[in-house]
């Protein structure tokens, strides 16, 4: 079956940009700790999150890309390929891992929601064909999320 032609009644201009978001979930453990501080200061600043055994979250990741719609396929990106990239670059690295101990970037950086979003951006930047990475949103809990729009955005 051949791909449908662009609808002549509603042509899409070549410079028309659209945002497309794909979601993924992963579960990870983490804790917050600053070695330069005393135990008491860590507990004061980070509260229960300073327990060095860690605690877990079921994270939701939203990756938004920006691009032009291909007039033949009607897609901005190949969604299967985008899912595979997110799985390879993020989910397989973070899922069922202790971020502080098992994910290299968090050896020297607090695994806060904000830093997780930045780290995921860096893992995905330039890897999704035919689209520009627009936003990474990471939900640590349903009522807590961080958005990152890129370096220098």
Q: For this structure, is 114 an active site residue?
A: no
Marked catalytic residue, from 49, 62, 87, 98: 49
Marked catalytic residue, from 55, 81, 96, 101: 96
DSSP, residue by residue, 90-143: IIHHHTTEEHHHHSGGGSSS---HHHHHHHHHHHHTT-STTSEEEEEEEEEETT
For residue 72 the two structure tokens come to 């033949």
- Number of neighbouring beta carbons within 10 Å of residue 22: 16
CA distances from 150 to 38, 64, 135 (A): 34, 12, 7
Q: For this structure, is 89 an active site residue?
A: no
For residue 58 the two structure tokens come to 């079921």
For residue 16 the two structure tokens come to 């028309």
Q: For this structure, is 49 an active site residue?
A: yes
Catalytically annotated residues: 49, 96, 140
């Amino acid at each position: 079956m051949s791909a449908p032609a662009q609808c002549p009644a509603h042509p899409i201009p070549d410079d028309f940009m659209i945002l497309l978001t794909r979601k993924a979930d992963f579960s990870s453990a983490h804790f917050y700790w600053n070695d330069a501080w005393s135990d008491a200061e860590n507990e004061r600043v980070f509260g229960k999150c300073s327990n060095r055994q860690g605690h877990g979250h079921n994270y939701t990741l939203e990756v938004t890309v920006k691009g032009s719609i291909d007039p033949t396929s009607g897609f901005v990106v190949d969604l299967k390929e985008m899912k595979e990239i997110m799985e390879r670059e993020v989910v397989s690295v973070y899922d069922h891992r202790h971020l502080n101990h098992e994910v290299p970037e968090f050896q020297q950086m607090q695994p806060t929601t904000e830093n997780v979003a930045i780290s995921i951006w860096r893992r995905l930047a330039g890897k999704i064909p035919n689209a520009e990475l627009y936003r990474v949103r990471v939900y640590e809990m349903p009522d807590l999320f961080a958005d990152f729009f890129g370096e220098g955005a």
